[in-house]
């Protein structure tokens, strides 16, 4: 069984290296613990129990830390300051035709409707989000 656990350890490590996400590192820890256990006993039930227990415990105790470290924070940009601001439609917004523009604080933006509705020219809108170089807007309730 030593060779099987060693092979599993290698497979889990290779898969972990091949993927950008942390996917199999917990199983690699379990395989390593079972490899060590297989040197001490030939009992397959104990080896399997060590594998499952070590994998599960390492997952439970390290996953929150790993998620926190791997968290991709959105970096704010200057465009983010326009979110929530009101402007006026200068060209009818029609998502199907891919047309539309707005003016907000003297700046012209290509715009798309947040709700996939057609928004006529001169309508007061509010920017819900910025997607690339497009302002995603909906009609202002104010």
Q: Counting Cβ atoms within 10 Å, is residue 136 exposed (0-12), middle (13-18) or buried (19+)?
A: buried
Strands (E), 9-133: 86-94, 99-104, 107-113, 124-131
| pLDDT for the residue 111 | 96
Spans of all domains in the chain? 2-70, 78-139
Assigned CATH for 78-139: 2.40.50.140
Q: Is the pTM of this model over 0.85?
A: no
Q: Quick one: pLDDT at residue 73? A: 61
Q: pLDDT tens string for the chain (142 positions)?
A: 899 999 999 999 999 888 877 778 899 999 999 999 999 999 999 999 999 999 999 989 887 877 777 766 656 677 788 999 999 999 999 999 999 999 999 999 999 999 989 999 999 999 999 988 899 999 988 6
């Amino acid at each position: 069984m030593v060779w099987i656990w060693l092979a599993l350890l290698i497979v889990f490590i290779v898969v972990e290296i091949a993927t950008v996400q942390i996917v199999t590192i917990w199983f690699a820890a379990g395989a390593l613990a079972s490899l060590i256990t297989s040197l001490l006993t030939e009992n397959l039930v104990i080896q399997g129990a060590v594998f499952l227990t070590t994998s599960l415990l390492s997952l439970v105790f390290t996953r929150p830390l790993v998620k926190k470290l791997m968290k991709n924070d959105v970096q704010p940009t200057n465009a983010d300051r326009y979110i929530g601001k009101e402007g006026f439609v200068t060209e009818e917004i029609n998502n199907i035709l891919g047309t539309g523009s707005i003016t907000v604080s003297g700046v012209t933006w290509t715009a798309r409707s947040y709700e996939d509705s057609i928004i006529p020219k001169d309508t007061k809108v509010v920017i819900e989000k910025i997607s690339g170089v497009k302002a995603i807007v909906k009609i202002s309730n104010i």
